[in-house]
Structures are given as C-alpha cells and as structure tokens.
Structure 1
Amino acid sequence: MKIALAQLNPTVGDLRGNCQRILEAVQRAEQAGAELVLFSELVVCGYPPKDILLREGFIAACDRAVEKLAQEIPVNIGVIVGHPTGRGLRGRRMANAASLLYQGAVVECVHKLLLPNYDVFDEQRYFRHAELEQICPVTFRGLKLGLHICEDAWWGQPDTFYHDQPVQLPDPVRILAEAGSDLLINISASPFEIDKRKRRQQIIQSHVDRYSIPYLFVNQVGGNDDLVFDGHSFVLDQNSQLQLQMASFKEDLQLFDTEAAVESPLEISPLSRDEQLFDALVLGLRDYMQKCGFTDCVLGLSGGIDSALAAAVAAEAIGPQHVHGLLLPSRYSSDHSVVDSLALAENLGIDYETVPIDSVHQAFENLPVIGDDLREAPAGLADQNLQARIRGANVMVRSNQHGWMALATGNKSELAMGYCTLYGDMAGGFAVLCDVLKCDVYLVSRYVNQRAGRIVIPENILDKAPSAELAPNQVDQDSLPPYDVLDGILKGLIEDERSVRSMSEQYPRETVQWVANRLDRNEFKRRQMPPGIKLSARAFGSGRRMPMAARFHWDEE
C-alpha cells in the first residue's frame, strides 16, 4: 500500500480553512498514487484548541466538518484525520479522536487513551480516556492498522504523566501490536523542544525493536500561540531502519510504499542547536503574526544583542520590508550604540527612524513631585525605568497608529532575574526571545551571520559588553553574575527543578542563593510579559505555574 504522510500547518479553530488544506493535500497525494493519507492529531481544529473546545456548539461543528470532509474526499482513497468528537458520548467530556474516512463515510473512529496533563498539556481538562475494549487495529484494504494518537506512544517514559500513576494505564502500542497490527501509525501534535526529534525517534524505535512492526509517525508543523511544532514526520521499517524523513519546520507531503523493496536506511544530519533555535523562532513569530492578522512589526533597536537578534528573526520571518525599527537614544546612550543600530538596520534592509528621548526625559524631571523624586536619585532605579518606559511608549505609539505588532526583545536570563522593566522593554504583543538564555542569544546571533555568509549583526554588537545604558558606564555584569554562570544556574533551577543545595555543588552557594531568590521574587513581572515561543523543556508561561504571593526560604530545603 502506498501511504502519504501529510505534515500540515493548521490554524486553531479554523475548521473551514483546515479542511480545505486537508482536501488539497489529499488531491496531491491521490495524484502521486497514494491509497491512504495520514494527517496529524486534531488537524481538523488545530492543536492546541484549549478552551475553545468548551464553547457551545464547537464539538458538534467539528463532527459536522469531519462528516462533510468524508463526503468530499475521492471515493478511492482513505484518509485518517485527527479531530475532537462528541459522537456517541454522553456528558460534557469529549474524545480526542482519529477517524478513517473512506467512500464518503466515517468508517472507523479511535480515541486517545493517554491524555497528557503535564507541562503545557492539559488534556484531562477536556477529554475522556478511550475505553480499553476500543483499542484495536483498524482494517483498511486488508491491512491491520495500529492507529493511536500522540501520547499513546509515550507510555512509560520517565518525563510524562504516566510513569508513576497509582493506577497504571496500559500501553496502547503493546495492545495494538499484540492484536496483530501490520503497521503502527501514530498521529501527533508534538511540540518542539531542543533535540525533541531525536527523543521521538528513540521512543518509536524502542517500539519497533520490541515488536518488529513498521512504524509511521506524522506530526503537526507550525506555530500556535506559544508552541511551535517542528514536523519531522518519519517512517521506520520493521528493522528500525529510517525509511522516510520529512522536512523540519515546514509543511511537507511524502509517500511510503509498504511493498517497496527495503533500501539502505537514510542518514540524516542532525540540526545544530543554533539552527534549531533560529528555525523555531522564525516559524513561531511568522505564524503568530499571520494567524493573528499582523503584516508588520515594530521594535526598539538599542544597539544591543537582544534587539539585534529579534530584528534578524523578524526580517527572516516576515520580510525586512515589514519590519520597522526605532532608535531611541537617551542621554546615557553611547555613540557606538547608535552607530551599531544603524549598521544593523542597513544590513537587514529594514525601515528605521531615530527618535531621541532626552527631551521627554527632561519633561518628567520638570514635573512637580515626580521631578523631585527623580532628582533625589539621578540615574537611580526609578529614573532608569522611566527611560525604558518612554521607549516602550514610543514603540506602542507606532504600533497603535499603524497596526504593527510590537516586539518585546527581552531574553530568558533577564526575565528570570527581573532585569527588565514592566511597561518599558517588556511592552509589546510578542516576546520573541523569552525562552532564549543569554548565551544562546549570542550563539544564534553568530549563526545568523554564518547562515547569511556575511555580516548581518555587526561584530561590535557581538563583542561588546551587554548594557542597558540607563545609567553612566552601566554594564549588565555590574548587577548580574557572568552570563555563562547565570545561565547554568537558571537552567538547573528552571528546566531541571534542582535545588539550591544541589546547584551549589557546581556553583558558589552565595551566587546560587541570590539567583534563586531573584527568580522567585520576579514571578509577578513574568506573569505580565507578552506571550512568546516555548523552546525549552520549561519555558515561562503556560507550562510553568508558579505562585506570585509566596515565600520559600531556600536555606530550609
């Protein structure tokens, strides 16, 4: 059987648009000779649909869309699509389903058993577990298809919700394999994290090693809110050899022939860390803007590394003609910051304007009461934050006037430490670098130049000491540990949930304690930051739910 894997980029809630994309992919697959086409998890409504699932009439609309899709698909080809369903179910709980559409009808429907409820996943809020007796192969043209959905392949993995449950749910893949499946098929919406592709392939390979059954894995691609889906759909044969590898970070459609002679396994060069991060940032920003209806964006260009990388990502994502920079020098801005910003804008080919902020700064100093406060501590915290807020206000004026999306440019290291200003540099509609540690900002920035084969981000921006330039002779390392130390501690505390005691085996305890206290104390700021792109195992946002009004003494751990 010739089976097409269709790696699509759906938009959440857009039933009509998503079904049209499905039909177009089916047409291409049919022309290529496919007998069966596989689509990703919840492709009909897009993943993650979140609380739109709870809207009255939405699930019924999804069921109608699937039935209509079945009628519009050519009768000689089978199609497997993921969708939410309430068909045949009682109560409010719906199912996360995969249906086989053939000859004008929905001929089979399977439900997801393992519903993830960790990190960004919240599926038990909406869906019901599959009934165990319903977990069985789907027969199509003489083949038994072991069809299952995303997390059903992750049973027993140590970082999932199912490895330590008091009542252990069974392994769906084992059930399907032991029921005589000829092929194992997993349709997924598996979000990107660094090296997630390798992890998925290891998990699928472990199933093939155990059961010696070919395995087809089809994944969603594209950005939806804070999640990016990298695609990377693939096929392993019964010997765990890679027979098909689909594109990364873009839509794709490829065929796998179950009867074809087994060729030499594919050799795939892994993507480097910097390449993965850049591709994910570009796709995440592009899709967020397009799916929200934005054509252009605006951001402040400080002459620093963060705004430089944010501008480069934006130029790649939506085209330099749609990126608008604002140079907003203050009395403390160095000459090289302005020169570097101008060089960056010219190198990228983006639109830019220079708007000095000192006259506005002086106007605040001349106000009664407020001016007195500012004069008490020139270049103090209130004065520094005021400058950031003046800059933020300028960016927002351009955003409001022209309908451009404002980009916030703070990185994960700064957001972790509260080294950012509410309603200042945190102002914006999207925080493109919010899950990129400072050391990775430099890594990806150098990749931008390497990828272009020329200087895009000026070398002076890459080489100079980072500074907010809100006070005389200010540099970041006056207030923060060296970034290589800080990032190592933050990764341990945030992504690995390690303790101060544990981290103090690698770093000075006093430094670790200071970082941990700052991290906790600034949760209120992060709660107010714009959405951004999840790139790591633990990003600030929906997957990390920390209290704001809390107090924990790290010396009591």
Structure 2
Amino acid sequence: MRVLRLGMAQLNFEVGAIDANLSKIERALAEAKRLNSELVIFPELSLTGYPPEDLVLKPRFVQANLDALAAVTAMTKDIAVVVGFVDRSDDLYNAAAFISDAKIQGVFHKQILPNYGVFDELRYFRPGRKEPEVILYGDVRIGVTICEDIWSPYGPMAAYSSGQVDVVVNINASPFAQGKQLQREKMLSTRAADGSLSIAYVNMVGGQDELVFDGSSVVYNHFGELIGSCGRFSEEVTSFDLFLPERFRKRLVDPRGNYRFEQCRLNEIRVRRTVSPVSDPHLDSYHLYDQKRHVIRPLIYHGQVSQDSERGYLASLPSKVDLGYFDASESYPAIVLGTRDYVEKNGFESVMVGLSGGVDSALVLTVAVDALGASRVKAIGMPTRYSSTASVSDAVEICKNLGTDFELVSIDDVFQSYLDLLASHLGESPGGITEENLQSRVRGTLLMALSNYQGALVLTTGNKSELATGYSTLYGDTAGGFAVIKDVPKTHVYELCNYRNQLAGYDLIPKSILNKPPSAELRPNQRDDDTLPSYDILDPILFRLIDLDMARSEVIELGYDPETVEKVASLIDRSEYKRRQAPPGVRLTNKGFGKDRRFPITNGFR
C-alpha cells in the first residue's frame, strides 16, 4: 500500500500583509520539514489573505503577491507545496499553485466562484477553465480544488471522482457559521466515499473584519472516514499519513466512477517526488491516528422562563422557541478570536467598554478580557439618576472578578445641562424618548472622547435583537469601533454567559446580572419588555423573519400573535438606516447584519 505523508498548515493570514504572510509560510515549511512531510498544503489565498476584496484591483498588489509566490517557490527544493494566490494572465483568478523542486509544476484556477452571502468573487475573478488536470506526484495522483469547488459534485470533483485520482487537496478560506462544521463533515465524507478517494481539507483560521475562520481542517480516507483533524480557532502545522490502495485493486473491488473513466481522462502533470516516500511495514492501518472529532450538538430550548432559575433569567424558554442551531462552546471562542484579531490586526493597544451592569456589557467585557488580557481592557461606568444601585455594584463585582480597571464617571450633571439647554430652546423639558436617547448619546460622546485621548478602541455592547428592532440609540450605544455581539440574539447572550461561567467553575459573570430582567435604565422602573415583546417571543420571530426570510403571514400561521408579528416586522423594516451606520462585528450566522443581508434603506415593500 502506498503512503503519502501530508502536511497541513492551518494558519492565520492577514489581508494585505503579504510580507508577513510569506514569513509565516516560511516558518510553517520549516516545521513541516521537521515532521518529514512530503507535501504541505496551505489555505486559499494564503499570500494575500482572504477576502482581499478591492485590493486585487490594484496592479501593484497583485504583482506583490506574485513576487511572494516566487519566493515560496525557491523554498521548495526538498518539499512539495500547494499554496493559494491571485493569478494574473488574461484575467484575475483565485488560484492554487503546486510547487516542488523549486518549480511551479501546475496552477489550478477556482472554477466555482461563490457569489452569495458574504462572498463577491465574481466581482474580482474569472472562473477557471473546465479541462481537468491532475498532478502525478511520483506514483500518487493528486487533484487540486479551491474551497467552493468541492461543495458541488458536478465541478472538478466529477472529473476527479471518475478519473482514478488518489487524493484531492482542497484549500479553503471558509468562514465560521454556527453549525457549519457539521455540514462540512457530511459533505466531505460524502465526496470522499462517492469518489473513492482521499480528501485533505485545509482551512484558514483567524478574524478578518466581520468574518471569523475556524480552521477545523480535516483528512478523510477513500471510505469517507475521518482519519485526522486540526483544532478549532487555533493555528496548527501537523502531518498525517495517507494510505492509498493500489489503483488496480481499487478498480476491481471498488468500481465507483469507473464507468466514466474513458470520457474523463485527466491531463497529467508529471512531477518528481522529491522526498522519499514513507516506508514502514507496520503502517498498515487506516486508523493510525486517533480521530479528534469535535462533537457538535444543536441546542433547542425547552421549559418555562424562571427569574429564579439557577442558570439565569432566560436560561430556559418555552418549547415554542427555536432559534436554529446554536452551541455556545463553538460560538464563544469564535467571538473571542474575531475580537482579538480585529483589535490587533488594526493596531489598537487597548479597548474600552461602557459597563452598565447589564448582561450585554458584562458579556462584551468578559470577551474582551479573554481576547486581550485584563491589562488591555478598561471599563467605564456612566450612571445617571435612573441607574440602579444594584447595576453599579454588579459592574464593580464583574470588574473585580475579571481583574480589569473600572472607572465610575457620573454623567448626571452633563445630562441635566442638556435638558436645561433644550428646555430653554423648546420652552419645556423634552421628556420621553428624547430624554432617554440623550443619556445614551452623552455616554457615547464621553467614550469616544476618552478613546481619542487614550487611543483605545470602543467596543459597543448592542446585541442582534436590539439591532434588528432598532432598540438602540444612533450616536449613543451604537458609537464605537467594533460590535462584539452584533450577531448574538439576546437569548443567546445568556447562553454565552452561562457557558463562560461553566468554564470558570464559578459565577465569573455575577448571578445577579443574569437573574435581573433586562433594562436600559433610562427612565424609572424601565424594562425592555415595556417596549419590546419579551425576548422568548421576540427572538423566535426575528429568527424566522430574518434568518429564514419567512413572510409575516407564514410566521403568523405558526401560531404567533398577529399583532406582535406585525409590530416586530415593522420595527425591522424601519431600522435599516440604523443598522447601516452600525460598526462591524463578529459574524456567527448565515444572516448577520452585514454582507449577508443587503436591504435598501429606502424601501416601500412590506
């Protein structure tokens, strides 16, 4: 049985930082050589980072990426490499180069360009040619695909599955979304088993603006069995041995795809195997490595709301609630990584959080400390006459638990001076929503002033439920540079807090924060459900209207109160202008408030 020692370089590349990315590739190659890898594969567009967007329209940027490719080529005298780059010939292509013996042996262009959700590849690239090619690396036939190419059974995978290919290398920059890993695993296992070939899937890791790449690179054998995987949300260079059956035996005992073999002969690129093949008579099992499967479980809430619950105010919800797939154990590290990379890749030394004593700001503060360390995070409390004593004490307690600085700055005098000024202009005190929003805008102004003075990035604390309904103040609580929980519904905020407390082994986020009813505290005895439906009702409606794109009538048919559904839908429609002005934030779902959902602000359709 033939053996190919395959290296996987699951790395965090930065968009535009071509020199830094090249240095990271060089270090990874040294590690792969130490592991005696024969072939090491890197993620999609490794040299440029992903997605490079309009940078690829700059000729000098494309040339810099090609210069870096030449540098990688010079590093491959004793190892083979597959690396992603932007190719330029008659047009621009999302490409992968197979390099060995200090030569580019073959270039593969991405054939299936995604142009949905967060992807705009047809804006930048031309689809690759249809003629299939295969690298004959010594006695191993290798096909190369790029990300979306492997999701369809009809693209290059059709040719590779019917052309007696041994291994398909698939390089990726596949963004994280809740539940996506389960979809990937099912798809990759199916492609491997249907084509009777091994698949090596390597994915990028790290944060890029609103996107987070989770890594989760995997290797499947020709039975569709997982034989190895890399960790989630972390860089890793590792090596796996692929055991490849002889093709004539495979053809005789496993004839899948052979009926099309004559019609799909692949153009061969013959490449000398520069490293001696692994030879060990004891390596006779497809299960040499332990399967490091990452268990994914869907979370569906059942039970009744209980303010006295051990797990918090919204820890258990009516069985009617179904917000789709959610697992705090995978979403929490995604938020931490997305926040860390946004801060560090954009050169900020520290961050600042307006801490109210509520659950949203408590979660954002905790994420910030986990991402950056307590010394780089500062919390600012800004109470007014409507802020409760309990909220202030809760803010003090969580900062003590996290070990971060907390500064209390009363803004009541500033707030009153605005009220007096408006009263002199209007002839009466404004009251109502004007007075409520004024407090938020004073806080936003103060935070941004401190940000200017100290150079700290302000992290906003609004959640997805608030952004969806416009339950936020423009230039107030939306003022800041990064929205950490922008794609987290309120009900999931509680789940994430409870998950973090479970990791800590104690109430890191105080139970008093989790147990009290949500309130903006902008007027006496205010509660969120004075203005909005309770979150156990609101969030499922939002999920159906936004994530599932259901019509109002369809949601009503499920049994939700018609008046409530109409109110929520109207709030969503009227709040688009607010969302357009909100800062970027970590994307966790396939319908985040960003590129996933592009509605016109001026919109007469209801």
TM-score, with structure 1 as normaliser: 0.94
SS at match of 2:519: coil
Equivalent position amino acid for 1:13 in 2? G
1:263 to 280, 287, 291: 287
Distance 1:377 1:20 in 2: 59
Equivalent position amino acid for 2:365 in 1? A
Q: Residue 163 of structure 1 aligns with which residue? A: none
Contact 1:8 1:40 in 2 (8 A): yes
Structure with higher Rg: it is 2
Does residue 150 in structure 1 map to residue 147 in structure 2?
Answer: yes
Offset, 1:372:
4.7
2:123 to 125, 132, 135: 125
1:488 to 530, 537, 540: 540
Offset, 1:56:
2.8
- Seen in structure 2, the aligned counterparts of structure 1 residues 401 and 271 have a Cα distance that, compared at 3 Å, is farther
Offset, 1:141:
2.5
Contact 1:523 1:546 in 2 (8 A): yes
Offset, 1:204:
0.8
Does residue 177 in structure 1 map to residue 161 in structure 2?
Answer: yes
Distance 2:563 2:50 in 1: 43
Contact 1:189 1:219 in 2 (8 A): yes
Q: Residue 215 of structure 2 aligns with which residue? A: 231
Contact 2:99 2:105 in 1 (8 A): yes
Q: Residue 206 of structure 2 aligns with which residue? A: 222
Equivalent position amino acid for 1:538 in 2? K
Q: Residue 430 of structure 1 aligns with which residue? A: 482
Contact 1:223 1:229 in 2 (8 A): yes
2:133 to 123, 132, 136: 136
- Seen in structure 2, the aligned counterparts of structure 1 residues 359 and 539 have a Cα distance that, compared at 3 Å, is same
Contact 2:228 2:292 in 1 (8 A): no
Does residue 298 in structure 1 map to residue 352 in structure 2?
Answer: yes
Contact 2:207 2:213 in 1 (8 A): yes
SS at match of 1:504: helix
Does residue 278 in structure 1 map to residue 329 in structure 2?
Answer: no
Q: Residue 82 of structure 1 aligns with which residue? A: 84
SS at match of 1:21: helix
Runs of 4+ in 1 over 6 A off after TM superposition: none
Q: Percent identity?
A: 41
Give CA deviations for 1:178-231 in whole Å, capped at 9, x if unaligned.
222111111111000011111101111111221111111000000001000000
Give CA deviations for 1:251-302 in whole Å, capped at 9, x if unaligned.
0112111234212772624156011111000000000111000121001000
- Seen in structure 2, the aligned counterparts of structure 1 residues 472 and 537 have a Cα distance that, compared at 3 Å, is same
Does residue 356 in structure 1 map to residue 414 in structure 2?
Answer: no
Give CA deviations for 1:419-442 in whole Å, capped at 9, x if unaligned.
000110000000011000000000
1:99 to 97, 100, 105: 97
Contact 1:6 1:37 in 2 (8 A): yes
Contact 1:136 1:179 in 2 (8 A): no
Q: Residue 458 of structure 1 aligns with which residue? A: 510
Does residue 51 in structure 1 map to residue 54 in structure 2?
Answer: yes
* Segment drifting more, 205-214 vs 340-349: 205-214
Q: Residue 548 of structure 1 aligns with which residue? A: 601
Equivalent position amino acid for 2:340 in 1? R
Distance 2:29 2:428 in 1: 68
2:458 to 406, 424, 431: 406
Offset, 1:548:
0.4
Contact 1:327 1:353 in 2 (8 A): yes
Distance 1:370 1:253 in 2: 65
1:39 to 37, 42, 52: 42
Unaligned regions of 5+ residues in structure 1, if any? 157-169
Does residue 202 in structure 1 map to residue 179 in structure 2?
Answer: no
Give CA deviations for 1:429-463 in whole Å, capped at 9, x if unaligned.
00011000000000001111111112211101000
Distance 1:300 1:224 in 2: 24
Q: Residue 164 of structure 1 aligns with which residue? A: none
Unaligned regions of 5+ residues in structure 2, if any? 244-282, 298-326
Give CA deviations for 1:89-148 in whole Å, capped at 9, x if unaligned.
22xx30000001212221111000000000000000000011112x22122222111110
Give CA deviations for 1:307-360 in whole Å, capped at 9, x if unaligned.
000000000000011100000001100110100000011111111100001000
SS at match of 2:224: coil
Contact 1:365 1:374 in 2 (8 A): no
Q: Residue 167 of structure 1 aligns with which residue? A: none
* Segment drifting more, 484-493 vs 269-278: 269-278
Equivalent position amino acid for 1:268 in 2? R
Distance 1:372 1:443 in 2: 46
Q: Residue 23 of structure 1 aligns with which residue? A: 26
1:335 to 368, 384, 389: 389
Offset, 1:374:
8.8
TM-score, with structure 2 as normaliser: 0.86
Contact 2:87 2:94 in 1 (8 A): yes
Distance 1:401 1:109 in 2: 50
- Seen in structure 2, the aligned counterparts of structure 1 residues 496 and 398 have a Cα distance that, compared at 3 Å, is same
Distance 1:398 1:173 in 2: 55
Contact 1:217 1:235 in 2 (8 A): yes
Distance 1:374 1:25 in 2: 69
Q: Residue 162 of structure 1 aligns with which residue? A: none
Equivalent position amino acid for 1:152 in 2? D
Equivalences, count: 532
Distance 1:153 1:248 in 2: 21
- Seen in structure 2, the aligned counterparts of structure 1 residues 351 and 510 have a Cα distance that, compared at 3 Å, is same
SS at match of 2:164: coil
Contact 2:161 2:196 in 1 (8 A): no
SS at match of 2:82: strand
Equivalent position amino acid for 1:322 in 2? R
* Segment drifting more, 400-409 vs 369-378: 369-378
Contact 2:419 2:429 in 1 (8 A): no
2:365 to 273, 286, 311: 311
Does residue 503 in structure 1 map to residue 519 in structure 2?
Answer: no
SS at match of 2:567: helix
Q: Residue 418 of structure 1 aligns with which residue? A: 470
Distance 1:204 1:371 in 2: 68
Equivalent position amino acid for 2:49 in 1? G
Distance 1:205 1:373 in 2: 68
Contact 1:295 1:318 in 2 (8 A): no
